[in-house]
Amino acid sequence: MTTDHAFTLRSNEVNLLLKSAITKKLLKDYEACHQQAETDLQQAYNLAHEEPRLPTPWPEITSYRLAHLRMRTARTEQELQAVAVLFAEAERNGKPLLGILPNIYRLAIQMRLGEKNEAFFTEIVKSLDSYQHSSDRPKKLNTAQFLNNEMVNYLELLAYVGGFDYRSLEGRYTQEDPFMELGLGESGYTVKSNHIPLPKIQMPHSLALTQALDMAGEEGLVFEWPNAPITNSYHYYHHHHSLQTPTHGMKTWSELLFKMITEGKLLKNNIQDDCTRQQLRQIKKFLASTLGVDKKTIFADTATEKTLSPQLKVFTVIKHTTKQLSHKRTVVTTLSQHLD
């Protein structure tokens, strides 16, 4: 997985192409705009999938968007099968990374081809449980009237048209967005790195963490501060994406490490006291030991700043609340814009 500035340039270009295509596909001049949108999406797809591939969610998003557009014009069996392959690419290791909508389209394609795949329908219904906290309607309703969300309604329609057994959908009720609050919920997450500037993309926690872990690989570290900006609680991932909880002593320098990753630097004027210098020594010792590198390679200094060395691969997944996002609308893109 690429982790240099070429990654940043590619992912930024993919993001711009996706936004351009979404705008064009909604315009009234269908013939011209459809072709322009498809050109943009094909280019975005190529950039995301070329080796080394961009990390999640770019390959999955571009596959979904290109399939979604080509679904409009697919008529022959060959065209429909090609679109189905793109929708399948929107999954990750067989799991509905982007929710169940790509598989709903795949099932619709099978039905257009005259196939009745009851087992696939049941699999899609069951997959609701893999990314939603609540999937069963309460047995007793008090005052509020519960309505099925769009995904359940789509599945109901497929059951009616395809003649599938509706019983697997009985009582289905979801309180959460089917795309795991993909830019639509009250909060979102972005990924930051110590060594490359990453696009400010708001995404659900699962996608942000997957992207950070992909980029860190076996030799990097991924930190999370769930209650940031309060930094007394955090955990990190290293080697085979295993979760590690810090010892009590590590929490003393947690805030300083958080600043170094999220702000990218420490001004030397702010590290004159013995306490801060001691915390920096602890950070150096921890990172060198965990990453298996020489202590001398941990920090990079200039005349006025101290930063983590760009040779290290350190990432953090940062949560943004609605209030925080309200003043960042011009710089934060929500992934829901790519999944409409």
> Tell me: the pLDDT tens digits for 187-226?
578 888 887 778 777 777 777 888 888 888 888 899 988 7
Q: Are 150 and 218 part of one and the same domain?
A: no
Q: Does residue 176 belong to any structural domain of this protein?
A: no
Query: pLDDT by residue (tens digit) across 117-166?
Result: 999 999 888 877 654 443 344 444 444 444 456 778 888 899 999 999 88
Q: Are 116 and 55 part of one and the same domain?
A: yes
Residues contacting 120, CB < 8 A, separation 6+: 103, 106, 107, 110
Write down the pLDDT at residue 266. Answer: 83
Confidence class of residue 243 from pLDDT cuts 50, 70 and 90?
Answer: confident
Q: Are 106 and 250 part of one and the same domain?
A: no
Q: Is the pLDDT of residue 112 over 90?
A: yes
Among 101, 95, 100, 32, which residue's Cα sits nearest to residue 71? 101
Q: Does residue 182 belong to any structural domain of this protein?
A: no
The pTM (predicted TM-score) of the whole model is 0.70
Please give the Cα distance from 201 to 178 (Å, whole number). 19
Write down the pLDDT at residue 45. Answer: 97
Q: Does residue 197 belong to any structural domain of this protein?
A: yes
Please give the Cα distance from 124 to 99 (Å, whole number). 10
Please give the Cα distance from 182 to 202 (Å, whole number). 8
Confidence class of residue 182 from pLDDT cuts 50, 70 and 90?
Answer: very low
Structure tokens at 213: 């872990």
Structure tokens at 254: 């947690």
Q: Are 17 and 143 part of one and the same domain?
A: yes
DSSP secondary structure code for residue 253 in this structure? G
> Is the Cα dihedral 32, 36, 37, 39 positive or negative?
positive
Angle value at C-alpha 234, between 229 and 236, nearest 5 degrees: 130
Please give the Cα distance from 129 to 134 (Å, whole number). 8
Q: Are 208 and 131 part of one and the same domain?
A: no
Last residue of a domain, one of 107, 135, 169: 169
Q: Are 158 and 306 part of one and the same domain?
A: no
Q: Are 208 and 89 part of one and the same domain?
A: no
Q: Are 217 and 109 part of one and the same domain?
A: no
DSSP secondary structure code for residue 269 in this structure? G
Q: Are 126 and 227 part of one and the same domain?
A: no
The DSSP code sequence of 300-338 is: EE-SSEEEE-TTS-EEEEEEEEHHHHHT-TTT-EEGGGG
How many CB atoms are closer than 10 A to CB 77?
12
Residue 102 near residue 182, CB atoms below 8 Å: no
How many CB atoms are closer than 10 A to CB 151?
21
Please give the Cα distance from 230 to 99 (Å, whole number). 31
Write down the pLDDT at residue 218. Answer: 82
Q: Is the pLDDT of residue 229 over 70?
A: no
Q: Are 197 and 302 part of one and the same domain?
A: yes
Write down the pLDDT at residue 335. Answer: 53
Write down the pLDDT at residue 268. Answer: 80
Q: Are 83 and 221 part of one and the same domain?
A: no
Write down the pLDDT at residue 136. Answer: 44
Please give the Cα distance from 185 to 181 (Å, whole number). 5
User: Which of 42-56, 224-238, 304-318 is predicted with the least confidence, judged by mean pLDDT?
Assistant: 224-238
The number of folded domains in the chain is 2
Write down the pLDDT at residue 91. Answer: 84
Residue 225 lies in domain: 187-335
User: Which of 14-23, 244-253, 288-297 is predicted with the least confidence, judged by mean pLDDT?
Assistant: 244-253
Write down the pLDDT at residue 78. Answer: 96
Q: Is the pLDDT of residue 167 over 50?
A: yes
Q: Is the pLDDT of residue 62 over 80?
A: yes
Confidence class of residue 241 from pLDDT cuts 50, 70 and 90?
Answer: low
Last residue of a domain, one of 138, 169, 200: 169
Write down the pLDDT at residue 80. Answer: 96
Residue 99 near residue 90, CB atoms below 8 Å: no
Position 28, amino acid: K
Write down the pLDDT at residue 30. Answer: 66
Write down the pLDDT at residue 21. Answer: 87
